[in-house]
């Protein structure tokens, strides 16, 4: 008989948080083996060379963006179910993550029961979404439907917008996203054009007003 334990990989750059999630999974599931990693490079190595049943992924790890990392994981393991665990409220990021291939989305303020429920749902082949998010997902599949100006942005542009909203400079954003300052400046220009704005101050006010940044 082979090992029937559920193999779950947790990818988050905070070791204390990984430990907490690991303990919750061990307490809430009957038979589980939990692996951990703290950066994008290790994550891609682990999904490439080991078999996992579920990946629990933080979209805020340094050196990459959440959507880009998820897409890379899906290239390596297209069938690996991925639950996004994020500090961002679902109405800000979840739809983009589902479009990039996610199977579930939880905020870091979720209860332990919600995490266990999501793991069971996703492992069974389902998608874990809240009722309100389910409605939003149905709405976004309508061609040409955009409810807010930021819905017109690409995933990269949206990430840059949120970082601008947090008060980061072009240089800081370039460093965080592992891109050149020129590239980030180009993204910033596209954001301003698409959203019909002229300054970072306008963008910052918009992100705060829309609740895109905490």
Residue 1 falls inside a structural domain: no
Query: Do residues 184 and 174 touch, judged by C-beta distance below 8 A?
Result: yes
At 33-82, the pLDDT tens digits run 999 999 989 999 999 999 999 999 988 776 676 788 898 899 899 999 99
As beta bridge partners, residue 83 has 56, 104
Total domains in the chain come to 2
Alpha-carbon distances, residue 112 vs 105, 106, 146 (angstroms)? 14, 11, 34
Query: Do residues 161 and 212 touch, judged by C-beta distance below 8 A?
Result: yes
Same domain, 103 and 83: yes
Query: Do residues 82 and 67 touch, judged by C-beta distance below 8 A?
Result: no
Tell me the average pLDDT across 14-22: 91
Average pLDDT, the chain: 84
Same domain, 119 and 205: no
Residue 46 falls inside a structural domain: yes
Q: What percent of the chain has pLDDT over 70?
A: 86
Where do the H-state alpha helices sit in the chain?
A: 15-28, 40-49, 66-76, 90-99, 112-123, 131-140, 155-165, 170-177, 181-195, 200-210
Residue ranges making up the domain that contains 206? 149-210
Tell me the average pLDDT across 170-188: 90
- Residue 157, pLDDT above cutoff 80: yes
Could you say which of 81, 109, 140 is where a domain stops? 140
Query: pLDDT at position 108, please?
Result: 81
**Whose CA is closest to 59, among 95, 20, 24, 32?**
95
Could you say which of 89, 118, 140 is where a domain stops? 140
**Whose CA is closest to 54, among 13, 21, 87, 14?**
21
Query: Rounded distance, CA 187 to CA 161, Å?
Result: 9
């Amino acid at each position: 008989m082979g090992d029937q334990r559920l193999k779950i990989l947790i990818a988050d750059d905070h070791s204390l948080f990984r430990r907490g999630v690991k303990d919750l999974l061990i307490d809430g599931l009957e038979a589980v083996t939990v692996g951990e990693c703290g950066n994008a490079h290790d994550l891609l190595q682990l999904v490439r060379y080991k078999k996992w049943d579920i990946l629990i992924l933080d979209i805020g790890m340094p050196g990459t963006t959440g959507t880009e990392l998820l897409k890379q994981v899906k290239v390596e393991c297209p069938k690996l179910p991925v639950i996004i665990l994020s500090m961002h409220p679902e109405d800000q990021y979840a739809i983009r993550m589902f479009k990039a291939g996610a199977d579930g989305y939880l905020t870091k303020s979720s209860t332990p029961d919600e995490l266990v429920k999501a793991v069971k749902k996703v492992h069974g082949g389902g998608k874990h979404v809240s009722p309100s998010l389910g409605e939003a997902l149905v709405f976004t599949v309508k061609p040409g439907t955009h409810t807010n100006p930021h819905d017109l942005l690409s995933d990269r542009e949206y990430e840059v917008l949120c970082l601008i909203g947090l008060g980061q400079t072009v240089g800081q954003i370039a460093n965080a996203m592992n891109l050149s300052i020129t590239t980030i400046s180009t993204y910033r220009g596209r954001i301003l054009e698409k959203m019909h704005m002229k300054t970072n101050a306008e963008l910052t006010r918009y992100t705060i007003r829309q609740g895109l940044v905490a």
